[in-house]
Structure formats: structure tokens, C-alpha cells
Amino acid sequence: MRASATEIAFYTVVALVLAWAGSGQAQMASQIPIEKAQGPVAIGALPSGTLAVLGGRGRLSLIDTNSARVTLLKDTLGYFSPADMAAARLGNTDSIFIALYNTVQRQGILARYSLTGDQIQTWNARAIFAGIAIDSVRHTVYVGDAVTGEISSLSIDGNSAGLSFLAEVSGVTRLGPLAVDEAGQRLFAADVGQGTIYVVDLGSRKSHLLASGMGEPAALSYDGDQQRLYVADASRHCIWQIAMNSPKPKTSRFSSAPELREPRGITVDAQHTVWVADHAALRVFKLSPAGLVAQSISP
């Protein structure tokens, strides 16, 4: 069908506006300091005491918590944007799983890396990945789609057919980070648009609201032994905790340490120590049981 002169003029204007906006965004992006862009956005703890840290542009590094030594594995992970990361020991193997996405192609990649930075496996999906969680007991990976609110699962054992639909978190506007309760067989999922946390029962695949009133819940981590969910709130510069050992879970602030500027990653290690990846501060913080910064490391 041939376009009319009016239509041609309209689409020309639209193209010019988009080109101008795109160039403006590119210029703004180029003005962001590289250090800030590489600031940590996700963190995961391994049983060995090693922390895996993911930067905003795909920088991947390891931290030995005993010596605070940092080992760089990757400067970048390619053209896909990193969404989230989780580290786990599956059997006798330590692995790092990273969820990446490409908004233009609407494609998501789940990649598995060794602790030497070698890519072991990849899985593709038609999704904008947002959050990832690993059940190390059942060797299952969960990833969420920011746009649809759907959660998919992947079994690492055997010849898996790939990612399969698990559940949809009803009512979310922008699905964000995930955390798994291995013993209770439930997932925690954050809506970063509404500042709310949902619980997904892995048996019934039904979800319900757990907590609300947060700013931007950018990361979740669950301590199964203490039955406590930790939430990194990037916009309110704090860490929340939700006690899950009662019929009515209670939400309270765990840390409002002045060092927290934009916490975007959180994990709990085997000693129940909370570690925070702060994107704006360009640091990884170790928090004391009282929520104070006990150690600061540059990843």
C-alpha cells in the first residue's frame, strides 16, 4: 500500500524525533562515568566463602571474604544487558548464573559460568529477564520476565529441554528480583514499579501479596535457617527484613547505614552475614548483625 504525502510527512517527523531522542540518550549515557556504570548491581555467596559480584556493564569478579582479595573474571559479557545474577554449588560444582536481556530483540539469555570465567552453558528465551534465583537442593533455576510477570524454571540435571513456564505473578507492573525458600518451596518476587513483594507457592503456582510500601526493591535474599527475607531498597537507600517465622510476617528496617547510597544487590552467606552490592557507592558492604557497615570492599 502506497503512503500518502501526509503520512510520509508524519513518519518523517516521528523518525526525526526518535533520532533526536536517541542521540540525546546516547550523549547522556556517554556522560555517565565508567566507574558508575560498572558499579555492582548483583551479588551472590558461595558456601566456600567466595562472593560473585556483577557490575552494571557486565563486569564479573570474585571476592574472597577472608582476605578481601578481588579477582576479575570478565570486563564485559557482550552486547546483552545484565539483569541479575545468582551463585550456587550444584553437586560438587560452583557456578555463576547470569540473566541477560536485549530489549530491541526482546530476547533473554541465561548463561552459566565457571569460577574461572568460562561460559559453560546458555539458554535462550523470548523474554526481558529481570530476576534469577537458584534452588541448590533441587538443581533448579528460576528466572522472571519483567514485562509479562511470568516466571520460568530450568532443571540443571540431565538433558533439560530448556526453560519452561512455571507461574505468572498476578498484578505486578514490573517484575524484578527473585529469591527462593528451598525448604518451604516458595518463591519471593518483587514488583519494582509498585514497591511490593509477592510470594509464589511452587506447589499450587499461586501468588499473593506479602509486603508493600517500599521504594524500589532491587534485590532479594532469603536466609532459610533464620526464616528471614532481606530486601535491598535502591531508592530509599536501606535494607528491609521480613520475618517469615510467624503467620503474619513483619517488615522492619534492618539497615539505614549512611554508607548505603543505591543498594542493588544483596546476599546472605553460610554464616548468615548480609552482604550488599551498592551501585552508586561502587562498593560491596558487609553488614553487622545490627545493620552497620563492618567492612567495605571495592569489587
Q: For the chain, which residues make up each domain, given as ranges?
A: 1-31, 39-297
**In this predicted structure, what is the pLDDT of residue 25?**
38
- Per-residue pLDDT at 94: 96
Which neighbouring-strand residues pair with 50? 64
Q: What pLDDT, on the 0 to 100 scale, is given for residue 35?
A: 57
> Measuring CA to CA, which residue among 198, 182, 65 is closest to residue 134?
182
Q: What is the mean pLDDT of residues 41-70?
A: 95
**C-beta neighbour count of 48 within 10 angstroms:** 14
Q: pLDDT tens digits for 12-42? A: 333 333 333 343 433 333 344 545 667 999 9
CA 184/CA 72 separation, integer angstroms: 35
Give the pLDDT confidence score for residue 38 in this predicted structure. 77
Distance CA 205, CA 202 (A): 5
Query: What pLDDT, on a 0 to 100 scale, did the predictor assign at position 148?
Result: 94
Enumerate the β-bridge partners of residue 287.
274, 293
HEC per residue, 135-149 = ECCCCEEEEEECCCC
Span of 23-32, 158-167, 188-197, 257-266 with lowest mean pLDDT = 23-32
Residue 254's nearest CA partner among 269, 265, 271, 242 is: 242
The fold adopted by the segment(s) 39-297 is: Neuraminidase (2.120.10)
How much is the pLDDT for 285? 98
Give yes or no for residue 297 having a pLDDT over 90. Answer: yes
Query: Which SS3 state, helix, strand or coil, does residue 224 take?
Result: coil
**Helices within the chain (DSSP H only):** 5-31, 34-37
DSSP 265-290: EEEE-TT--EEEEETTTTEEEEEPTT
Summarize the chain as % helix, strand, coil (round to 5).
Answer: 10, 50, 40
Residue-wise pLDDT for 239-282, tens only, equals: 999 999 988 899 999 999 999 999 999 999 999 999 999 999 99
pLDDT digits (tens, 9 = 90+) for 200-228: 999 999 999 999 999 999 999 999 999 99
The answer, yes or no, to whether residue 10 has pLDDT greater than 50, is no
Residue 3 confidence (pLDDT) above 60 = no
Query: pLDDT digit string (tens) for 111-133?
Result: 999 999 999 999 999 999 999 99
Burial class (CB in 10 A: 0-12, 13-18, 19+), 64: middle
pLDDT at 278: 98
Q: How confident is the model at residue 159, as a pLDDT?
A: 60
Q: 22 and 28 in contact (C-beta within 8 Å)?
A: no
What is the per-residue pLDDT for 31? 44
The average pLDDT across 152-171 equals: 86
User: pTM score, two decimals?
Assistant: 0.87
- Cell numbers that stand for 182 in this block: 528451598
Query: Across the chain, what does the average pLDDT equal?
Result: 88
CA dist 108 and 251 (Å) reads: 33
Cβ contact 178:220 at 8 Å: yes
Q: Of 185, 155, 186, which Cα lies nearest the Cα of 169?
A: 186
Interval 62-92: pLDDT, tens: 999 999 999 999 999 888 889 999 999 998 9
